[in-house]
Structure 1
Amino acid sequence: MTKADSPDRADGWTAAVRQRLGLGRLLPLGGAADGSWIAERAAAEALRDAAVGSGAVLGTLRIAPAYADGAPDPVVPGPPSALPPGPLRIEAGFSATARRPLPATADALRSALLTAAAERLGLVVDEVDLRVTALLDEEPGRVGRSPAEVREARPDGVAGTTAAAVPGVVSLTRVLGNAVQSGAGHVRVELATAGDHRALDVAQAVRKAVTGAVDGGPTVAVLVTAVVDQVSTAVVDRAGPAPV
């Protein structure tokens, strides 16, 4: 095998494409046995929603591994260059007024982020690192975010039609290629979930349904590329080939 054909080079190329598409890191949902991942962009948008009402305005937000090494291997193959299961750390800057003590605002924001990570998404977050970046003259108002962009894929085949029918699945998506990738007794499904369903719960329901529906009972991994607020209309793109 040449260096040009090496797995490290392939993973680096995939990571570069993923970054250009704006997905960010592919974060583990749940633990090693859950076989599910979510795009950092999708997770960050959900966390930003949760921060509204905390008295803080989120700035830069990143989600990174909280472990140095020794993360367990997932029970199923994940998407290329996805992070292995393990605890995560949220790093964010925020602005707020001085009308309330800044430590109190930070505590409220930290609580909102931790609650949303666990109850809305299913992320295992051990640390929330916050820093004040600016002081505001007035209390922040409620500002709705733009609808999530969803590259929708039409369900195709048993795995696709089964996954698309699971409650909480808004649509299959095709950000990293075809919505359903199959081979060697394994299936990977890429999809968008509804904001009023916990992303990890939807992913687990998809894994169970697809395993039961496809001949041979393959292992199944799920990648959530968007969490769609049901009060907003997703931007849907059905046309054109997959980007990679």
Structure 2
Amino acid sequence: MTTADGPYGADGWTAAVRQRLGLGRLLPLGGRSDGSWIAEQAATTVLRDAAAGSGAALGTLRIAPVDEDHAPDPVVPGPTGALPPGPLRIEAGFAASARRPLTATSDALRAALLAAAAQRLGLVVDEVDLRVTDLLEEEPRPAAKPPPDVRAAEPEGAAATAAAGVPGVVSLTRVLGSAVQHTEGHVRVELATAGDHRALDVARAVRGAVTEAVEGRPTVAVLVTAVVPQD
């Protein structure tokens, strides 16, 4: 059972809602001054895609803080229940062909995960914990990739229009409420990014565009709910 002291670091109701919506944890993108987060489901989709050429068939895949209790506070407030900025750990189980040395497969998988986390997303990953769950007679074949659930929203207002116009933004989204939420001196934007753009770079650009577009230059937080592959 998820509680206020559970793995999501938020009250049980909020965590349960995120689970039902398929988001998982809200992971920090970049550092404490970047004001950006990504849904765990969106991040793991990218990581699974990157792992497809490593010779491993990924099973369970989880992204967690290395030390949530000592993580610094973000410079700007994030979505309710979002993890604080700090280094992350990828934990994964995988099946591999017995015809290839397991160390070679695990090294290739670890390298693929680290490269995708840094270069395609902007996650700060310090550790990758891998475990072999099965040995296969043949090389595993990549599984079919379901399309991401984008839940697009039309831009309304200055903040939304500015965010939607940033290169790499596929659409605004409305998973945790409206696409743009305003509080006193602060704006939170929810969106989907293109797979050929680094998610953190898009989020940074959105924060800058929204700050300039909204009167009073509010602080801005961005939540990436989906990463959409590009042909």
| TM-score > 0.5, shorter chain as reference | yes
User: Which secondary structure state, in structure 1, belongs to the residue aligned with residue 11 of structure 2?
Assistant: helix
Cα shift readout 1:137-189 (whole Å, capped 9, x = no counterpart):
11123444011111000001000011001000000000000000001100000
Unaligned runs of 5+ in 1: 1-9, 232-244
Partner of 1:124: 124
Q: Assess if the C-alpha contact under 8 Å between 2:88 and 2:126 holds in 1.
A: yes
Q: Assess if the C-alpha contact under 8 Å between 1:171 and 1:191 holds in 2.
A: yes
Q: Assess if the C-alpha contact under 8 Å between 1:11 and 1:80 holds in 2.
A: no
Identity of aligned residues (%): 78
Alignment of 1:63-74 (within 5 A): 63-74=63-74
User: Which secondary structure state, in structure 1, belongs to the residue aligned with residue 191 of structure 2?
Assistant: strand
* Cα offset, 1:68, TM superposition: 5.0
Partner of 1:223: 223
Query: 1:195 is aligned with what amino acid?
Result: G
Alpha-carbon distance in structure 2 between the residues aligned to 1:39 and 1:164: 19
Q: Assess if the C-alpha contact under 8 Å between 2:169 and 2:202 holds in 1.
A: yes
Query: 2:86 is aligned with what amino acid?
Result: G
Cα shift readout 1:193-212 (whole Å, capped 9, x = no counterpart):
00000000000000000001
Alpha-carbon distance in structure 1 between the residues aligned to 2:173 and 2:33: 23
Alignment of 1:23-102 (within 5 A): 23-102=23-102
Alpha-carbon distance in structure 1 between the residues aligned to 2:31 and 2:168: 20
Alpha-carbon distance in structure 1 between the residues aligned to 2:85 and 2:63: 13
Partner of 1:107: 107
Cα shift readout 1:105-131 (whole Å, capped 9, x = no counterpart):
000000000000000000000000000
Query: 2:14 is aligned with what amino acid?
Result: T
Alignment of 1:229-244 (within 5 A): 229-231=229-231
Mean CA deviation greater in 61-70 or 216-225:
61-70
Query: 2:140 is aligned with what amino acid?
Result: P
Alpha-carbon distance in structure 1 between the residues aligned to 2:79 and 2:44: 19
Query: 2:50 is aligned with what amino acid?
Result: A
Q: Assess if the C-alpha contact under 8 Å between 2:94 and 2:132 holds in 1.
A: yes
User: Which secondary structure state, in structure 2, belongs to the residue aligned with residue 128 of structure 1?
Assistant: strand
- Give the TM-score taking structure 1 as reference length: 0.89
Partner of 1:184: 184
Cα shift readout 1:21-54 (whole Å, capped 9, x = no counterpart):
1100000000000000000000000000000110
Alpha-carbon distance in structure 1 between the residues aligned to 2:170 and 2:68: 35
Segments of 4+ moved more than 2 angstroms: 141-144
Q: Assess if the C-alpha contact under 8 Å between 1:78 and 1:221 holds in 2.
A: yes
After superposition, the Cα gap between the structure-2 partners of 1:129 and 1:155, relative to the gap in structure 1 and judged at 3 Å, is: same
User: Which secondary structure state, in structure 1, belongs to the residue aligned with residue 204 of structure 2?
Assistant: helix
Q: Assess if the C-alpha contact under 8 Å between 2:99 and 2:137 holds in 1.
A: no
Q: Once superposed, what is the RMSD of the aligned Cα atoms?
A: 1.0
Alpha-carbon distance in structure 2 between the residues aligned to 1:128 and 1:142: 21
Query: 2:106 is aligned with what amino acid?
Result: A
Alpha-carbon distance in structure 2 between the residues aligned to 1:68 and 1:88: 9
User: Which secondary structure state, in structure 2, belongs to the residue aligned with residue 149 of structure 1?
Assistant: coil
Query: 1:124 is aligned with what amino acid?
Result: V
After superposition, the Cα gap between the structure-2 partners of 1:68 and 1:149, relative to the gap in structure 1 and judged at 3 Å, is: closer
Query: 1:230 is aligned with what amino acid?
Result: Q
Alignment of 1:140-151 (within 5 A): 140-151=140-151
